[in-house]
């Protein structure tokens, strides 16, 4: 293949798609651990717990009875029905199974929604900092993420006013995550309604990533569907259900969008992992929910330990993270180069954190993300190590 220009002969879109910088930290952390160093891992974006035993058992049973073939492109009916019941039980919402599509992770849902909504050159408003893949999904379908710098004044979220201020002719919608990665802040019902109103005024689309629902520690987060039945919802079995490696998520779409998305899903995925879908059904059983709720309590205890500890170390955390398993800390007292700072903390003190540059551009060099996806004992060890170097 001839190699030309910046993109080495490959499609020009590749130049706009950035790698995760945390990978450098993770690879170095793995190498140091393999060399016998004692590393506290606080960079991962997934629960440290293994998938709950009843889910694993259901997956095993599905394999044993031969659930190894393709399944429906929108997901097996039992799982779409279980998700519909989940919306009734958890939110008091009546969402028909036909509006719910099972996807290969929230990632698959994001791809389907991007492909459904974006024409070349269209823009989607999103927060900076935010989950970095969002803008890359938009770019992949020749649209673009319109990054809106956000800070503590809006709890790192988009607001109705920000949507109005940043909307341009090519903008087709706005997306938020509640609770968000990397900040853990959640939107109230009123804030969701204000966002919905601002987007509706422009006849745009509202996308809400609810992947960290279930992992809220000061009361449950409302679903956008409570205030806007036409919004697109992205969700997943990865986080609360602890199934990252099974690659299973879902989306809720307005009735009119489902047939087109099903067509896309047939072409892009054919089907999700059939075994994983049968396993996920067990996620809704009372015995499993008990395990998952215990884990939620453990995450809460970790947050309640780590948040004041991080602040005591000299990091500023102006907005209390209400959910997910992250603390987004302002490290401007210590650095303006979060990537170099993270590598130094890893090399010299054995603590792996994620640099802010992974989540966008806005004051990214001055921020770090702490993941409390490791045991309390390890968190205490990390705080002690950081205390020695930073105080």
**Of positions 84, 183, 196, 236, contacts ligand PLP by CB under 6 A:** 236
Q: Which region, judged by CB under 6 A, interacts with ligand PLP, from 87-95, 101-109, 135-143, 168-176? A: 101-109
**Of positions 59, 97, 105, 123, contacts ligand PLP by CB under 6 A:** 105
For position 107 contacting ligand PLP by CB under 6 A, the verdict is yes
Q: Could you tell me the smallest distance in angstroms from the CB atom of residue 209 to ligand PLP?
A: 5
CA dist 197 to 160, 174, 228, Å?
A: 7, 12, 9
CB atoms within 10 A of CB 348: 10
DSSP 138: H
**CA geometry: angle at 203 spanning 228 and 163, to 5°?**
80
Q: Which region, judged by CB under 6 A, interacts with ligand PLP, from 64-72, 102-110, 147-155, 348-356? A: 102-110
| Long-range residue pairs from 254-263, CB within 8 A, at least 24 positions apart, any chain | 254/99, 254/229, 254/230, 255/96, 255/98, 255/99, 257/116, 257/232, 258/74, 258/98, 258/99, 258/101, 260/116, 261/74, 261/101, 261/112, 261/113, 261/116, 262/73, 262/74, 262/101
For position 154 contacting ligand PLP by CB under 6 A, the verdict is no
Nearer to ligand PLP, 72 or 181 (CB): 181
127, containing H or E segment: strand 123-128
- Stretch 324-383 residues interacting with ligand PLP (CB under 6 A): none
β-pairing, 171-177 with 354-355? unpaired
Interface with ligand PLP: number of residues (CB under 6 A) = 13
Q: Are 300 and 275 in contact (CB under 8 A)?
A: no
Nearer to ligand PLP, 188 or 244 (CB): 244
For position 181 contacting ligand PLP by CB under 6 A, the verdict is yes
Of 361, 366, 368, 328, residue with least CA distance to 128:
361
β-pairing, 205-209 with 171-177? parallel
**Of positions 147, 162, 177, 199, contacts ligand PLP by CB under 6 A:** 177
For position 20 contacting ligand PLP by CB under 6 A, the verdict is no
Nearer to ligand PLP, 107 or 332 (CB): 107
Show the site string, 202-221: x = touches ligand PLP by CB under 6 A, - = not: -------x-x----------
Q: Could you tell me the smallest distance in angstroms from the CB atom of residue 131 to ligand PLP?
A: 4
Q: Which region, judged by CB under 6 A, interacts with ligand PLP, from 22-30, 236-244, 306-314, 382-390? A: 236-244
**Of positions 21, 45, 143, 343, contacts ligand PLP by CB under 6 A:** 45
Structure tokens at 349: 């003190």
Can you give the binding site for ligand PLP, defined by CB under 6 A? 45, 105-107, 131, 177, 181, 209, 211, 236, 238, 244, 249
């Amino acid at each position: 293949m001839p190699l030309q220009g910046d993109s080495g002969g490959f499609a020009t879109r590749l130049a706009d798609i950035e790698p995760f910088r945390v990978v450098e930290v993770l690879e170095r952390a793995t190498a140091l651990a393999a060399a016998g160093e004692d590393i506290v891992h606080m960079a991962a974006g997934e629960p440290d717990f293994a998938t709950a035993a009843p889910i694993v058992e259901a997956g095993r049973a599905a394999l044993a009875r031969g659930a190894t073939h393709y399944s429906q492109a929108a997901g097996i009916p039992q799982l779409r029905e279980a998700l519909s019941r989940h919306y009734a039980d958890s939110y008091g919402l009546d969402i028909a199974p036909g509006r719910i599509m099972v996807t290969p992770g929230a990632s698959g849902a994001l791809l389907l929604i991007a492909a459904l909504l974006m024409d070349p050159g269209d823009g989607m408003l999103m927060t900076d900092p935010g989950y970095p893949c969002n803008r890359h999904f938009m770019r992949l379908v020749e649209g673009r993420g319109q990054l809106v710098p956000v800070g503590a004044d809006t709890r790192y979220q988009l607001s109705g006013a920000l949507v109005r201020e940043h909307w341009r002719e090519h903008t087709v919608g706005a997306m938020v995550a509640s609770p968000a990665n990397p900040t853990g802040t959640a939107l109230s019902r009123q804030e969701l309604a204000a966002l919905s109103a601002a987007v509706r005024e422009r006849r745009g689309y509202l996308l809400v990533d609810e992947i960290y629902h279930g992992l809220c520690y000061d009361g449950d987060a409302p679903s956008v569907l409570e205030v806007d039945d036409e919004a697109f919802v992205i969700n997943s079995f990865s986080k609360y259900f602890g199934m990252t490696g099974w690659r299973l998520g879902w989306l809720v779409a307005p009735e009119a969008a489902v047939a087109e998305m099903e067509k896309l899903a047939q072409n892009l995925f054919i089907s999700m992992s059939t075994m994983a879908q049968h396993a996920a059904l067990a996620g809704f059983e009372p015995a499993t929910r008990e395990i998952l709720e215990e884990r939620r309590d453990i995450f809460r205890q970790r947050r309640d330990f780590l948040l004041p500890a991080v602040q005591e170390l000299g990091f500023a955390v102006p907005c209390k993270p209400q959910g997910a398993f992250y603390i987004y800390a302002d490290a401007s007292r210590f650095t303006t180069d979060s990537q170099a700072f993270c590598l130094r903390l890893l090399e010299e003190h054995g603590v792996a954190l994620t640099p802010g540059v992974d989540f966008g551009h806005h004051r990214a060099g001055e921020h770090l993300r702490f993941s409390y996806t490791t045991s309390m004992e390890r968190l205490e060890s990390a705080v002690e190590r950081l205390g020695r170097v930073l105080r």
